[in-house]
């Protein structure tokens, strides 16, 4: 479905608007979990798109024009109209392409509300909690790990005895959906951050349901096609942590913008 230049693992990929019959164009950044959300949603919905890689340290005029308020990726251009913000883009895709199966959000209003609530929780609480671990060391880091586990425990409890109990995926089916995408694109960073920051963020024994869900999510073909290789994320995260801890140094990932981007990887600033 996607042409080689749309391969999200190719950070040099770019394409001009005239080169494709697709009316969807995505401005993204290769290490951005928010970008991965949109790439994954487009892939699950089987929608072709052009991918435009941004240098976050030197944003293109086109990105600034299309997202003048937040100036961030991802931005989806649909028939020339810009739609920023990953969550809003996912909702848009369901609204605009109802015929492309599967819908990302569940059908029942209560299930839709729940998915939206936990997606908000992911961006509002979980992401910032991980970012705090990654951006600290010593005692501050130990305290941040504790706060992260407290947040993750809320998800585990919900999986054990809440509305998602007994489900393979948050979607309720055997395919990943909206909340799986939101929580999943971010969670694959946990192992990377553990290695780079030298901490254990969570033990499978204490969070068995979350752990099983994450392993299952990571095994999905669509996910494997989108998420960059572990080693590449590792290189990027090493550079990012060095900058965050004031050690300077360059990025390991090929593009720049790391200093501003721990929030971009897992948490909204």
Nearest Cα to Cα of residue 49 among 97, 95, 87: 97
Q: At its nearest, how many Å lie between ligand GSH and the CB of residue 11?
A: 13
Q: Is 136 in the site for ligand GSH (CB under 6 A)?
A: no
- Pick one of 26, 30, 34, 119: the residue that binds ligand GSH (CB under 6 A): 34
Q: Is 74 in the site for ligand GSH (CB under 6 A)?
A: yes
Q: Six-digit token pair at 52?
A: 């435009």
The residues in 157-196 that bind ligand GSH, with binding defined as CB under 6 A, are: none
Q: Is 268 in the site for ligand GSH (CB under 6 A)?
A: yes
Q: Which stretch binds ligand GSH (CB under 6 A): 79-87, 99-107, 108-116, 239-247?
A: 79-87
Count of positions on this chain that bind ligand GSH (CB under 6 A): 17
Q: Which residues contact 90 (CB under 8 A, 6 or more apart)?
A: 37, 38, 41, 104, 105, 178, 181, 182
The residues in 84-123 that bind ligand GSH, with binding defined as CB under 6 A, are: 85-87
Q: At its nearest, how many Å lie between ligand GSH and the CB of residue 93?
A: 14
Task: Kindly give the interhelix angle for 127-134 and 230-244, rounded to the nearest 10 degrees.
Answer: 70
Q: What share of the chain is helix, strand, coil (3-state, %, to 5)?
A: 50, 5, 40
Cβ 118 vs Cβ 155: under 8 Å = yes
Cβ 8 vs Cβ 51: under 8 Å = yes
Between 72 and 232, CB nearer to ligand GSH: 72
Q: Which stretch binds ligand GSH (CB under 6 A): 72-80, 159-167, 207-215, 231-239?
A: 72-80
- Write the DSSP assignment of 119-175 as a string of letters: HHHIIIIIHHHHHHHHT--HHHHHHHHHHHHHHHHHHHHHHHHSTTTT-SSTTSSSS
Q: Is 56 in the site for ligand GSH (CB under 6 A)?
A: yes
Q: Is 218 in the site for ligand GSH (CB under 6 A)?
A: no
Q: Which stretch binds ligand GSH (CB under 6 A): 13-21, 71-79, 104-112, 126-134?
A: 71-79
Between 214 and 265, CB nearer to ligand GSH: 265
**C-alpha–C-alpha distance, residues 200 and 81, integer Å:** 43
Q: Is 228 in the site for ligand GSH (CB under 6 A)?
A: no
**C-alpha–C-alpha distance, residues 48 and 5, integer Å:** 12
Q: Is 260 in the site for ligand GSH (CB under 6 A)?
A: yes
Residues that bind ligand GSH (CB under 6 A): 29, 32, 34, 56, 71-74, 85-87, 260-261, 263-265, 268
């Amino acid at each position: 479905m996607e042409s080689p230049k749309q391969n999200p693992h190719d950070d040099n990929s770019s394409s001009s608007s005239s080169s494709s019959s697709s009316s969807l164009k995505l401005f993204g950044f290769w290490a951005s979990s928010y970008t991965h959300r949109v790439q994954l949603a487009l892939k699950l919905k089987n929608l072709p798109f052009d991918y435009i890689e941004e240098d976050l340290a030197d944003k293109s005029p086109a990105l600034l024009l299309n997202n003048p308020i937040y100036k961030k990726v991802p931005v989806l251009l649909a028939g020339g109209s810009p739609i920023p913000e990953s969550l809003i883009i996912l909702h848009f895709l369901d609204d605009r392409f109802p015929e492309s199966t599967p819908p990302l959000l569940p059908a029942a209003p209560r299930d839709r509300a729940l998915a939206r609530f936990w997606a908000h929780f992911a961006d509002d609480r979980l992401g910032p909690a991980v970012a705090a671990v990654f951006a600290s060391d010593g005692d501050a880091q130990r305290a941040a790990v504790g706060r992260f586990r407290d947040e993750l425990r809320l998800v585990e409890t919900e999986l054990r005895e809440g509305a998602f109990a007994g489900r393979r995926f948050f979607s309720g089916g055997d395919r990943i959906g909206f909340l799986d995408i939101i929580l999943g694109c971010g969670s694959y960073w946990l192992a990377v951050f553990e290695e780079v920051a030298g901490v254990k963020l969570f033990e499978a024994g204490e969070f068995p349901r979350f752990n099983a869900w994450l392993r299952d999510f990571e095994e999905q073909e669509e996910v494997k096609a989108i998420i960059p290789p572990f080693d590449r994320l590792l290189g990027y995260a090493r550079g990012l942590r060095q900058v965050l801890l004031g050690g300077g140094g360059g990025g390991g990932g090929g593009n720049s913008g790391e200093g501003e981007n721990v929030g971009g990887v897992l948490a909204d600033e």
